[in-house]
């Protein structure tokens, strides 16, 4: 099953139109769907799981309860019914979750769909995802406009009330093709919390920031 790609920090492709989504501070869960088998394959970012998995199995029920009916209806619609399969990417997080760490025993959890990959076509474009899957339940749209340094500064200063930052999704046009472009921006608040919690991880994270 397709795994979700690592997203780099901002610093390229200034000026392109983007949709910026709230970056949820949890753990990645992936779910594969086919018209014949429904939602039948499940995993975390790094391993496959089933509903009996001691740590992560409960996330499958959360996903099905929240999305199975809604997404099945969309996948069977005229626009998508010819596709052989989809991989849905969702973020599992609890009220106490932070930096991908969870209190599995005492916390209350939710799961949120944040991307979908269509068989042989790749990730669904951001505006299509927002328009066609928004009602199913996706992260909050923080910004819809051009990627620029003013917006980066506003995210860093946390003007939007974010827990971690944003994922920016846009399309880079060339003479012959168009290609999806993703980048992330994190708030100064988040970096400060990471520095206090884990200085080594903070230093490693800062090395990835381009500007």
- Domain extent for 211: 1-24+140-211
The Cα 183–Cα 185 span in angstroms is 7
- Consecutive sets of 10 residues in the chain, 211 residues long: mean pLDDT of each? 94 93 96 97 96 96 98 97 97 94 95 97 95 97 96 97 96 84 96 94 88 65
Question: Are 204 and 119 contained in the same domain?
Answer: no
Question: Are 150 and 188 contained in the same domain?
Answer: yes
Question: Are 148 and 162 contained in the same domain?
Answer: yes
Sign for the CA dihedral angle at 159, 111, 108, 46 comes to negative
Question: Are 121 and 155 contained in the same domain?
Answer: no
Is residue 194 within 8 Å of residue 202, measured between CB atoms? Answer: yes
**Torsion angle of the four alpha carbons 155, 160, 161, 164, in this order, in degrees rounded to the nearest 10:** -30
Question: Are 4 and 98 contained in the same domain?
Answer: no
Within 8 A by CB and 6+ apart from 207, the residues are none
Domain boundary among 138, 159, 192: 138
Q: For the chain, how big is the Rg over CA atoms in Å?
A: 18
Domain boundary among 113, 138, 163: 138
Listed in sequence order, the DSSP H helices in the chain are 57-75, 126-137, 149-156, 188-197, 199-208
Give this prediction's pTM.
0.94
Of 121, 122, 118, 130, give the one whose Cα is nearest residue 167. 130
Question: Are 100 and 195 contained in the same domain?
Answer: no
Question: Are 161 and 119 contained in the same domain?
Answer: no
Question: Are 32 and 75 contained in the same domain?
Answer: yes
Is residue 65 within 8 Å of residue 137, measured between CB atoms? Answer: no
For residue 211, what pLDDT is reported? 65
Is residue 53 within 8 Å of residue 198, measured between CB atoms? Answer: no
The Cα 153–Cα 186 span in angstroms is 10
Total structural domains within the chain: 2
Question: Are 108 and 17 contained in the same domain?
Answer: no
Question: Are 36 and 134 contained in the same domain?
Answer: yes
Domain boundary among 138, 168, 192: 138
Question: Are 100 and 30 contained in the same domain?
Answer: yes
Any idea what the CATH number is for the domain that residue 32 is in? 3.30.470.30
Question: Are 114 and 186 contained in the same domain?
Answer: no
């Amino acid at each position: 099953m397709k795994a979700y790609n690592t997203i780099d920090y901002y610093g390229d492709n200034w000026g392109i139109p983007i949709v910026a989504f709230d970056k949820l501070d949890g753990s990645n869960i992936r779910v594969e769907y086919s018209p014949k088998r429904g939602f039948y394959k499940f995993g975390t970012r790094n391993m496959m799981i089933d509903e009996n998995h001691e740590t992560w199995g409960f996330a499958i029920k959360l996903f099905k309860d929240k999305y199975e009916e809604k997404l099945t209806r969309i996948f069977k619609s005229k626009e998508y019914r010819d596709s052989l399969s989809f991989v849905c990417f969702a973020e599992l997080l609890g009220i106490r979750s932070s930096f991908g760490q969870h209190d599995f025993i005492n916390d209350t959890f939710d799961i949120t769909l944040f991307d979908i990959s269509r068989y042989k076509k790749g990730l669904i474009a951001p505006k299509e995802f927002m328009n066609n899957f928004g009602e199913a339940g996706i992260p909050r749209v923080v910004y819809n406009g051009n990627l620029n340094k003013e917006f980066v500064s506003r995210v860093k200063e946390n003007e939007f009330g974010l827990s971690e930052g944003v994922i920016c999704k846009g399309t880079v046009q060339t003479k012959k093709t168009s290609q999806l472009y993703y980048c992330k921006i994190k708030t100064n608040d988040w970096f400060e919390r990471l520095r206090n919690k884990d200085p080594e991880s903070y230093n490693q994270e800062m090395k990835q920031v381009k500007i």
